[in-house]
Amino acid sequence: MTPSSNSTGPSASRTAPPKGSAAGNSRASLSRRSGAGGIASCGSGSGGAGSCDGESVASGTSSGALGGRPWRRARNRGRLSAAAIRGVSQCVDAIAPPSPDRTVPRRAEPAGALRVRGTNGLVTSLHRVPGPQRCGRRRKLLPKRRPDAWTPPVVNGCAGERLSAGPPSARSSVSSAPSGGHVSLHPQVETLRARLVAAGTRPLYTLDLAEARAADLAAARSAGGVPEPVGSVLDAEIPGPGGLLPVRVYRPESDGRPLPVLCYFFGGGWTLGTLDTCDAICRRLANAAGCVVVTVGYRLAPEHKFPAALYDCRAAVEWITGHADAHGGDGSRLALGGDSAGANLAAALALHLRDHGGPPIAAQLLVYPNTDHLADTASRRENQDTVFFNHRSVDWYWRHYLADPAHGADPYASPLRAGDLGGLPPALVITAEYDPLRDEGEQYAECLAAAGVPVALSRYDGMIHGFFAMPGELDAATTAQDEAAAFLAERLAEVRV
């Protein structure tokens, strides 16, 4: 395999890695935990996604709708301690997922960027970070529960609150502010919106699939800015569960010592996207974080439904762990990351690797992640501007991804519905103020902290879904990418080989 040195565009060469380097080619069974720490049934009944009873998992096989490939039995993770957690939503024992018609209420946070830094589940710092523009972050503790606040039913070990988002008269055609005030998009976002309206840009969900994929790639290239040169870029194909799986390996200039590795999964609602979609992001993170970045061309829906993309991502992680040294990487210092659906895959894969064994993960970078198929949140209801990603976009992507809506209750599709989030890697969660996915991303950060996972949460004021990939349009994208790179560099440097 021949790398292209200092390439400023996607490499065109593809060669297959040595034989025997792939993960298995058959599907894995997905398991869910019971409150007692064992394996709960998740059959085809209410909220289920296929059979994964205790006996089949114990024997290393599954006969369920999603099953086929054996995995090691999930470990007993015990119970969460509510008394050990301060300043976060209540934690309780892990429970079976709710039925699909049950919603997940969520407290609407006041306007402003949040930053949560947890250590062993306890919030430890509070300080203000100056930013170059209005979208700079404000770091803030997770608010304590108000004594008189309504508490919704507990979902998967973490209960939230839902407060009023303001009267309908306070809402604009774009979105209502989280506290019910007037919407205030960042001026750069307003400029972008005006240009899209003038160009007659149509929502992707109104296009046929081929048109939507072409438009998504064109938008990514336009808004991504000038791709940074890196030391080398290598395209390859590796064996995956469904055949050859394309990957791209970015290596920054270095002194030759092995570098940590980030596996990055592009966004696009599991339906859109290619290796080229996140090319600029991967180059920037490779240079700024000083790590090898591997991006994965996982199979897309609707041609390949859940959990195909998840299994592809797992195969790629197993491959790079075994072949990192051939690409200047250190497979023992490994992080997962992605944006939007890619962040969903990163979070789900972290769960899957914890539950079924696999390479240890040092960190997870989750940029405006989808975390709950059934989320009924203020941010989903309020963000209805058809010029940008909106609640209809969310529904359109989920319909493509899931073969059966009941599969959305599976924690490997909806990580927020996992019964236990303990033992997961430290996380940085980035959200945008005017994003339908804002609330579920922030609730996932809260639940990670409640489970004892070190977590940082940053909300970018005035920003929209997708801003992280728009450094050519939005200064906040560069700020967020720098924050992500600093997080990765810090966490991966802490790993002791």
Active-site position among 356, 373, 400, 465 = 465
Active-site position among 56, 175, 340, 393 = 340
Active-site position among 372, 410, 435, 461 = 435
Run of H or E residues at 260 = strand 259-265
Distances (CA, A) of 159 to 150, 156, 415: 11, 8, 15
Q: What is the pLDDT of residue 285?
A: 99
* Range of lowest pLDDT (50-59, 103-112, 362-371): 50-59
Residue 465: active-site member: yes
The residues, any chain, with a CB within 8 Å of residue 77's CB and separated by 6 or more, are 33, 37, 94, 420, 422, 423
Paired tokens of 244? 């050859």
Distances (CA, A) of 7 to 234, 249, 251, 283: 10, 12, 11, 10
Q: What is the pLDDT of residue 6?
A: 45
Q: How far apart are alpha carbons 282 and 488 in whole angstroms? A: 13
**Which carries the bigger pLDDT value, residue 254 or residue 120?**
254
Type of residue found at 389:
F
142-157: average pLDDT = 35
Res. 496 pLDDT band, cuts 50 70 90: low
Q: What are the pLDDT digits (tens) for 259-303?
A: 999 999 999 999 999 999 999 999 999 999 999 999 999 999 999
- Every domain of the chain and the residues it spans: 28-75, 79-497
15-44: average pLDDT = 34
Domain 79-497 has CATH 3.30.70.1150: no
pLDDT above 70 covers a percentage of the chain that reads: 63
In order, the DSSP letters of 60-126 are T---STT--B--PPPP------STT--SS--B----PPPPTT--B--PPPPSS----BEETTEE---
Q: What are the pLDDT digits (tens) for 72-99?
A: 333 333 333 333 333 333 332 332 333 3
Q: What is the pLDDT of residue 31?
A: 30
Q: How far apart are alpha carbons 440 and 416 in whole angstroms? A: 8
- Please, are residues 409 and 48 in contact by the beta-carbon 8 Å criterion? yes
User: Sign of the C-alpha dihedral, residues 252, 288, 332, 236?
Assistant: negative
Nearest to 449 by CA among 80, 106, 117: 117
Q: What are the pLDDT digits (tens) for 110-130?
A: 333 344 433 333 332 322 233
Paired tokens of 88? 């976060």
Res. 106 pLDDT band, cuts 50 70 90: very low
Res. 494 pLDDT band, cuts 50 70 90: confident
Name the pTM for this structure.
0.70
Q: How far apart are alpha carbons 372 and 398 in whole angstroms? A: 10
364-389: average pLDDT = 97
What's 128's DSSP letter?
Answer: B
**Which carries the bigger pLDDT value, residue 54 or residue 224?**
224
Residue 21: active-site member: no
* Range of lowest pLDDT (176-180, 248-252, 479-483): 176-180
Q: What is the pLDDT of residue 495?
A: 73
Average pLDDT of the chain, as a whole number: 74
Q: What is the pLDDT of residue 321?
A: 95
Paired tokens of 95? 């429970």
Cross-strand bridge partners of residue 335: 262, 363
Q: What is the pLDDT of residue 183?
A: 61
